[in-house]
Amino acid sequence: MAIVDARPTSAARDPFRTTSEARSWMLLAAEPSASAAMETMPTLHTAGGRYRRGAGRSIAWRGTKLELPRDVTASSIWWHTTRIDIGRPRLSSNGISNSDMSTPRVFDGKLAIITGASRSFGAALATHFASRGANVVINYATSASDARAQELAKKLSAEHNITAVPIRADLLDPAAPQQLIDAAKSHFSKNGKFQIDILINNAAIVNAQPIQDLDLDLFQQTFDLNVRAPALLIKAAFPHLPTNRSGRIVNISSATTTWGLIQQTSYAGTKGAIEAMTRVWARELAERATVNSVSPGPMDTGLLNGLPEAPREALKLYNALIPLARERPGVDTQDMLRLAREIGGRPGTLEEVAGVVGIACLPESGWMTGNQLGASGGGAFVR
């Protein structure tokens, strides 16, 4: 196996020189036999201990496959007396690596439009698709989110070698969905061609009101954003969807549509409407795109911290029935453990739910449409 020092003074000594300043050393393979050489390693030493070769993960470097133990989480390994930086894979709370080295670019070159994407779950969705090769439109509503959306777009573009464009369009305005599509077209049209491969209707108003205190204005706003806006956006996107069934549309719904959670008249009601429309659109758009809904249960968005006491107490009853809601000391963060104690079980992470949305958008998911996909840790047991 060839190990090349990335700090040579002569270009001849460094044919693979990188522009990255983040790593002082790199693992490079000069011969095609590097993978086989790695297989003969008896033991790798890392900052976290010793790892014997076995079920390994692969990294690709300039076309060469390199085998590494799957559970290496250190930022560097040692081969004999040489330090080799491999980067530190980021682990989500479920122990799955989020490292770009092991993330396949399954959406490479596709365009994903995501509403409500400047922060929280929407930003997690944008990150999920960008990290897998998709160009993304980061839609957001107001000037207050300008800086946040621009920073996210800049970050995703730099980290994942894609194009991310922030577009402000307040979807409470009936004219905004068409304006959003027109703006996306101006950015991504090539030689007069413009195609929307993935559309995620995520923007929503969440509220909790007992029926006796129902506010009509808030009810109308919730309907306008949660129901009317997705319909108008799909109408505007229709001419630009693929014509070969390869398009993917996902409407973000909620487990509250079936749980009967108190104080959720407007929110659960509007999410029930989006599930009904999902089935209609699955038929109407069958030759262009699959249309599915994803129903998250409680998510760690920060909203649970401000939940009124009554629905918070009610959640404890539901979480007791959810298999994956059990807290995991030593795995979950302290904030997650605290929240789990307050609502009777841990919520899903943003990345966990974004992963379910991503599954619905895979090319391999082309035989699935009109479905409601649960992303609630087993929330179907609540019914």
Residues classed as catalytic: 253-254, 267, 271
Identify the CA nearest to 220 among candidates 232, 231, 229, 212. 229
Report how far residue 89's alpha carbon sits from residue 49's, in angstroms, rounded to the nearest whole number. Answer: 16
- Could you give the 3-state DSSP secondary structure of residue 305? helix
Strands, E assignment, 180-305: 198-201, 247-252, 289-296
Report how far residue 152's alpha carbon sits from residue 162's, in angstroms, rounded to the nearest whole number. Answer: 12
Q: What angle do CA 294, 299, 301 make, to 5 degrees?
A: 120
Sequence letter at residue 279: R
- At a CB cut-off of 8 Å and minimum separation 6, what does 211 contact? 265
Report how far residue 21's alpha carbon sits from residue 23's, in angstroms, rounded to the nearest whole number. Answer: 6
198: left (phi over 0), alpha (psi -120 to 50) or beta: beta
Report how far residue 195's alpha carbon sits from residue 135's, in angstroms, rounded to the nearest whole number. Answer: 12
